[in-house]
Amino acid sequence: MNDTIKVEPIRGVSGELEVPGDKSISHRAAILAGLSDGQCRIENFLPSEDCVNTLRAMGQLGVSYEVTRGTHEKPLDLLIQGCGGVLSAPEHDLDCGNSGTGMRLLAGVLAAQNFDSVLIGDESLSGRPMGRIMTPLEMMGAKIQTRGVKPGCAPLHISGGTLESITYEMPMASAQVKSAVLLAGLFSPSITKVIQPAINRDHSERLLNYFGVQVTTEGNVISMKGRQILKARDLYIPGDISSAAFWIVAAASRPGSRLLIKNVGLNPTRTAILDVLRRMGAQIHEEVVDEDGGEPRGQIEVIGGELQGTEILKHEVPNLIDEVPILAVAGALAKGQTTIRNASELRVKETDRIETTIGNLRAMGGEVEEFEDGMVITGGHPLSGAAVRSFGDHRIAMAFAIAGLFARQGETTIEGTSCIATSYPTFEQHLQLFTKS
């Protein structure tokens, strides 16, 4: 992957596309298949650095796997031989690279093992808060030390041991925290409950159920009895709607565009971006074709329109949190104001995405007001091509490649685009589908 992408303005985005497998589901598939009681065939695993790191970590913990198809740019088909819940001590530190999901979910599993382990990550991950998983895991009896340069951050030194079941009321709507507690709870003797302040992505619950673990959700409370055996299952991973989001916004924001995205995940805890874009004036039709593995999958047709600004509602935020940078670009291309508040979680993503999104929008001539928990974008000011940076954040890099496609004039250069490989290794090839005349 190149470290710079240059884009020239285009008229619109039409055609048909499939995006690579879902990142959240790929992490969970590697972990749950690895813990299961037999062989699992996993198809369409995302071949991104983040997910491959989680798979490798499971390998270091004694899970054997084989890549039966694919490379770093092609969907991976895997055969994972589950360890029946019995992992072995790793010889080296486990490197989660850039991935908060990988680190936080693995920490849940490792806290409950009868061996010690160390989780490390890159510079960005080593600056992200781990206290949010340490608090509930320590309530369960886990022993975790952070030995990072920044207090409360990785490396995580985990002294594994026996855990108790707890009821945990999460202070933030975080699927990573919920999943870390549930994964730790799998190794605890009685019922683990997580109370979430708002509905957020439920892939762990769905996938645990698919692997034969009884998990129930009633309103905002998730309950699971510990010490259940995960049954080996084959799984097909749907395309990632967070990757599709870049093309959905590109097509939505230009009248005359018509785009069909096939084979994409349509889990309702991930599709809030479609509701927002409909409100803004795009025509979007989604159709569920399949529900294999407990995850709805299907197609999205987008017909572009003259977008109008909107307010993103508080309850929508957790269900579009990774789409905020590209929705901010949609806001800049729309007429009127787009308000994104209640989103202070953006400050602790791969970068402070409030700051990096606003900095780049302003560099392109956008009008944006910053708030501690979000931003208000006043659309209708044409964007101009500019030199912008990713700051090492994959979603910032991709969002501003799309912004550059719709600048009124001039080339946009995005510097630092190799990070895109953490979630969407074929992004640049897909970009060329629309830019090569």
- Report the catalytic residues: 322
Taking the least distance from each CB to ligand S3P, the nearer of 24 and 188 is: 24
**Closest approach of Cβ 147 to ligand S3P, in Å?**
22
Write down the least CB distance from residue 303 to ligand S3P, Å. Answer: 28
* 134 makes contact with ligand S3P (CB under 6 A): no
Looking at beta carbons only, is 307 or 324 nearer to ligand S3P? 324
The mark string for 326-345 relative to ligand S3P (x by CB under 6 A, - otherwise) is -------------------x
Q: Whole-number minimum distance, CB 205 to ligand S3P, in Å?
A: 11
Question: Distance between CA 125 and CA 106 in Å, rounded?
Answer: 14
- Contact yes or no for 331/343 (Cβ under 8 A): no
Site string for ligand S3P, 6-25 (x = CB under 6 A): ------------------x-
Contact 9, 385 (CB under 8 A): yes
Minimum distance from CB of 395 to ligand S3P (Å)? 8
Contact mark string toward ligand S3P, 73..102, x via CB under 6 A: ----------------------------x-
Site stretch for ligand S3P (CB under 6 A), options 42-50, 174-182, 248-256, 357-365: 174-182
Nearer to ligand S3P, 124 or 179 (CB): 179
Distance between alpha carbon 79 and the CA centroid of its chain, in Å?
Answer: 23
Distance CA 288, CA 266 (A): 7
Task: Please report how close the Cβ of residue 128 comes to ligand S3P at its closest, in angstroms.
Answer: 9
Give the binding-site size for ligand S3P (rule: CB under 6 A): 10
Segment near ligand S3P (CB under 6 A); pick from 73-81, 173-181, 377-385, 407-415: 173-181
Number of Cβ within a 10 Å radius of residue 167: 14
Dihedral angle over CA of 221, 225, 227, 232, nearest 10: -70
- Please pick, from the candidates 36, 165, 176, 356, the single residue that binds ligand S3P as defined by CB under 6 A: 176
What is the token pair recorded at 192?
A: 């683990």
| Torsion on CA atoms 339, 343, 349, 354, rounded to nearest 10 | 40
Between 129 and 382, name the residue whose CB sits nearer to ligand S3P: 129
Instruction: Give me the least distance between CB of 345 and ligand S3P, in Å please.
Output: 6
If one asks whether residue 175 binds ligand S3P (CB under 6 A), the answer comes out as: yes
Query: Does residue 174 bind ligand S3P (CB under 6 A)?
Result: yes
Q: Which of residues 182-201 bind ligand S3P (CB under 6 A)?
A: 201
Strand-pairing partners, residue 79, are 41, 66
Between 175 and 250, name the residue whose CB sits nearer to ligand S3P.
175
**By CB under 6 A, residue 180 contacts ligand S3P:** no
- Taking the chain, what is the end-to-end CA distance rounded to the nearest angstrom? 22
Between residues 102 and 155, which has the closer beta carbon with respect to ligand S3P?
102
Amino acid present at 282? A
Long-range contacts of the stretch 157-161 (C-beta < 8 A, 24+) = 157/116, 157/118, 158/107, 158/110, 158/111, 158/116, 158/117, 158/118, 158/119, 159/116, 160/110, 160/111, 160/112, 160/113, 160/114, 160/115, 160/116, 160/117, 161/111, 161/112, 161/114
Q: Is 321 in the site for ligand S3P (CB under 6 A)?
A: yes
Residues 137 and 144 sit within 8 Å (Cβ to Cβ): yes
DSSP 359: H
Nearer to ligand S3P, 321 or 329 (CB): 321
Provide the token pair at 428.
Answer: 């640049």
Q: Is 351 in the site for ligand S3P (CB under 6 A)?
A: no
14 CB-near residues (< 8 Å, 6+ apart): 251, 256, 257, 258, 259
Which residues of this chain interact with ligand S3P, rule CB under 6 A? 24, 101, 174-176, 179, 201, 321-322, 345
